[in-house]
Structure 1
Amino acid sequence: MNNLVQKVSEYMQEYHMVEEGQKIVVGVSGGADSMGLLAVLYELAEYFHLSLVVVHVNHGVRGQAADGDQSYVEDVCREKDVPCYSFHVDLKRFARKEGMSQEEAGRYYRYQCFEKVRREVGAQRIAVAHQQEDTCETVLFNLFRGTGLKGLTGIPPVRDVIIRPLLCVSRGEIEKYLQEKGIAWRTDETNLTDVYTRNKIRNHVLPYIQENINPAAGQHIQEMAGLLKDISEYIDRQGEQGFDACVTVGKDSSCAAIHSDAFRRLDVVIQREIIRRAIGVAAGKLKDVEREHVEMIRGLLDKPVGRRCHLPYQLQAVRTYEGISIKRETAGEAKRPESICIDVKAPGSYRLPGPGIVVELTVKETFKNEEIPINRYTKWFDYDKIKNGLAVRTRENGDFITLDGQGHRKLLKRWMIDEKIPRDEREQMLLLADGSHVLWIMGHRISDNYKVTGGTKRVLVAEIKGEKSNGRQYQSIVNGERSRYPDSRTG
């Protein structure tokens, strides 16, 4: 038995890819990898008592070249007496119809064809031709794009009925095997271009690493992906146990309540896994859930009751007395602008809801007799009085504002009622808040607690710039009035 065939045979047995007597659907494009897969499985068919069925998909993108690929695969199958099912699709039209990229649509259509044939012929497995470099490309692509642990585990050898027998060998090994056997293969010229990000990794990044850093880099990346897969599976198991201990799921699975006491005792890695699971339960999927969403929810544990953050799929996480509740937003809540957390150590421009509306924050030193603008949309605050960090958000339970120099406070809800703010506008009004203490009701007044005084050393300048937001005009309304301090410093 050829060395490569022996290697693949042992790999298939290690991962229990097939059982004796099974029927296997083999995806064959005509390229080196898939021709190698067909040739190896054809050799192993007698050993494992397998029967093979080939599926070829012509994407209709490369014209006569694609037709040539189809004819070649069908001819090889005829010679080997292997049944071959060919499919043809106008991939560009299909991608437009499904709202996908051509690359994504091509993969989706191929696997639809594989599964259709598997069911028709009663096959137990679908074999596809991913090999070692494909794992490396996937790991590097996910790493460069930004990913969690699962994204670094590479391509699984077995997933449901799909098997990948060639993941244990490199493209170079496959091509050498084909040359020794006198088996030709077709070349897809689009793989040689840099149209797709994966092609750039395949054609430039990996070759550079292997030529200039370590020829065995591909093998090492695959081995690392295997180790991370084991770690990921362990975290999955721990996350499942933690989820059962910390989370209560609503009857219709639209709400997941995390209990803070049990949750806090767990390691942060398991906490993140539990949060992802809780979001998945409430949303029914996790596709657009990113690390920042998980960290926002973890951060709620240190926030006052009532604080919330908005998530994909019209979900919100709310700090409760017991912990954190992840649930669907109501119609009214869904219309609220999202909270924007601001790092006061890194002033800059922060986008607000509305066409081109931003709040611009700068920090400056004060000097004696400096003039403070009297301006509805530019306000100055004593920077050193900010305690908890800033957020631009709508109102929450417990919000208050300081009315005078004696420290008299008023709940924001009461202030809005006293000022006769229409009920439908109250949920839309934007605030600059330090925890529950409101510095600025934008377009209205500021808190007396944060006003610039004679003792102020650093000033936070907040200015709203833009056109319109929520039906109101945000613009510089300078009415000509100026104040001088230390006699009178107002905001």
Structure 2
Amino acid sequence: MEKDRFLNEIETFISNEKLIDKRKLYISALSGGADSVALLLSLKELGVNIEAAHCNFKLRDDESDRDEQFCIELCKKNGIKIHIIHFDTIEYAKLHKISIEMAARDLRYNYFEQLRHDIGAEGICIGHHREDSVETLLLNLIRGTGINGLTGIAPKNGYILRPMLSVSRKDIENFLNRQQQNFVTDSTNLVDDATRNKIRLNLMPIIRSINPSADKDIANTALRLREAEKIFNESLKASEKEIVTTNSKHITSINKQKLFNTASPEYTLFYILKNFNFTPSTIEEIHNRLRFAQCGKTYLSKSHRLLIDRESIIIEPQTNFSECNRTYKIPETGVYKLNDKITLRLEIKKYKDKKDISILPNIATIDADKVVFPLILRTPQQGDWFTPFGMKGKKSVSDFLTDKKLTLFEKERQPLIEDANGNIIWLIGLRTDNRYRIKEDTKKLLYISHEDSQN
């Protein structure tokens, strides 16, 4: 591939993928290796407005300082501004209990994003090439993946741009040779230890012995899969819109019947639940329970909890439960702003006639003389019971809520009020206790209003 063909290939790829607007500023990640050097020089030759960014991870003693000095001199020679940062990568890895490789990646991309904000850059260009994308595909395949993992490295991921995915490592080296441009070599890339290096140094030579053009052919397959993925995702989005609803409290409901009417219930479920941080193995278990019509099971992700209910799958943020699972003491009548969503108002009035009795679900009207303060607002506990209005015998709160067809999550969140005697006087929004009902000899009414801004 001749010099102009190399640059034309990159320029065509940039145009096809709509990666760069030459009127704006971009960061070019520069390690000093062949890929990043070729990226820097190519973008410069193509007239892209760039500034370089180099990270010194302090992992290879003199080599790290050598690389830094090389990058400084390269940018000075080409009239390109360079930004340099030093990291204590080992200490960061220990602090966050992650691998050195993951620590370096986190530090690198976090710095690039901060720098992008600081200098007003439009994007961050990274020197990944065709073989990198092929290695990623194979790595995902070995670990197990869906269609997304078989598309290789994406040309654009947020502000991260990869203009060289259409060229090979050999193309890059030939370009640098024609430019008479040297580069530095990271000795760790030649050591057969990390999984990716095993693929690069051991597996790929075997694959190329079977098909010398395997890199290009696999990359073209990934490209076709990427196009197929667009159609695939559009179909999944349409299915999600049809079967998923979310209310003002961020509670999501998946209609089970509609889910099973989709072409692939399991993959549709995976597509939906991955956005709530559920792992593939957990999603598989959830799907298996759905197949056997098993209800009542709950699951937790790091951010949400899920319930398999009778006709739907319920998902809600874990904060929903923690916010409502608090106890509030109400010492006397008045207005209580319990949080930014809930207000409780209590007022005593003289009882005149039945017109004074509220029929609104969020207002309870009870005999004030039978209530003993302080009141407690809380959620149900095991063993709770009350006498529902209109009934003579007592009933467990759990059975009453089940009869009302509340889900397990709704039952856990259901607010109630009890008085100082430990008697439940109101299941808020549902039923007052019959022992506190208004009678002919009632003299004073206690109005309790429960206002929830999310309802």
Normalising by structure 2, what TM-score?
0.66
Find 2:263's aligned residue among 262, 267, 281.
267
CA contact (8 A) 1:301 1:324 kept: no
Unaligned runs of 5+ in 1: 332-491
Task: Provide the secondary structure at the position in 2 that maps to 1:156.
Answer: coil
Unaligned runs of 5+ in 2: 323-455
CA contact (8 A) 1:24 1:51 kept: yes
* Structure 1 residue 276 displacement after superposition: 2.8
Task: Provide the secondary structure at the position in 2 that maps to 1:92.
Answer: helix
Find 1:279's aligned residue among 266, 273, 280.
273
Task: Give the aligned residue type for 1:180.
Answer: R
Task: Give the aligned residue type for 2:186.
Answer: D
CA contact (8 A) 2:151 2:222 kept: yes
Task: Provide the secondary structure at the position in 1 that maps to 2:310.
Answer: coil
Query: Which residue of structure 2 lines up, in the alignment, with residue 258 of structure 1?
Result: 254
CA RMSD after TM alignment: 2.1
* Structure 1 residue 296 displacement after superposition: 2.3
Query: Which residue of structure 2 lines up, in the alignment, with residue 33 of structure 1?
Result: 35
CA contact (8 A) 1:300 1:307 kept: no
Query: Which residue of structure 1 lines up, in the alignment, with residue 79 of structure 2?
Result: 81
Percent identity, aligned pairs only?
Answer: 29
1:221 aligns with 2:218: yes
* Structure 1 residue 306 displacement after superposition: 2.8
Find 1:230's aligned residue among 224, 227, 230.
227
Task: Give the aligned residue type for 1:8.
Answer: I
Query: Which residue of structure 1 lines up, in the alignment, with residue 429 of structure 2?
Result: none
Find 1:100's aligned residue among 93, 98, 101.
98
* Structure 1 residue 313 displacement after superposition: 3.1
CA contact (8 A) 1:258 1:325 kept: yes
Task: Provide the secondary structure at the position in 1 that maps to 2:254.
Answer: strand
Distance 2:231 2:189 in 1: 36
Query: What aligned pairs does 1:343-422 form with structure 2 within 5 A after superposition?
Result: none
Residues 124-174 of structure 1, C-alpha deviations (whole Å, 9 max, x = no match)? 121110001100111111111111221111111112222111100010110
Distance of aligned partners of 1:22 and 1:327 in 2 relative to their CA distance in 1, 3 Å threshold: closer
Find 1:114's aligned residue among 109, 112, 115.
112
Task: Provide the secondary structure at the position in 1 that maps to 2:51.
Answer: strand
* Structure 1 residue 239 displacement after superposition: 1.5
CA contact (8 A) 1:236 1:273 kept: no
CA contact (8 A) 1:60 1:90 kept: yes
Query: Which residue of structure 2 lines up, in the alignment, with residue 139 of structure 1?
Result: 137
Question: How many residues of Structure 1 are paired with residues of Structure 2 in the alignment?
Answer: 318
Task: Give the aligned residue type for 1:85.
Answer: H
Task: Provide the secondary structure at the position in 2 that maps to 1:25.
Answer: strand
Query: Which residue of structure 1 lines up, in the alignment, with residue 123 of structure 2?
Result: 125
Distance 1:155 1:249 in 2: 32
Distance of aligned partners of 1:153 and 1:39 in 2 relative to their CA distance in 1, 3 Å threshold: same
Distance of aligned partners of 1:304 and 1:264 in 2 relative to their CA distance in 1, 3 Å threshold: closer
Task: Provide the secondary structure at the position in 1 that maps to 2:314.
Answer: strand
Residues 76-111 of structure 1, C-alpha deviations (whole Å, 9 max, x = no match)? 101111001111111111111223211111111111
CA contact (8 A) 1:239 1:274 kept: yes
* Structure 1 residue 327 displacement after superposition: 4.8
CA contact (8 A) 1:235 1:273 kept: no
Task: Give the aligned residue type for 1:259.
Answer: N
Task: Give the aligned residue type for 1:213.
Answer: I
Query: Which residue of structure 2 lines up, in the alignment, with residue 302 of structure 1?
Result: 291
Task: Provide the secondary structure at the position in 2 that maps to 1:296.
Answer: helix
Deviates more, 1:298-307 or 1:4-13: 298-307
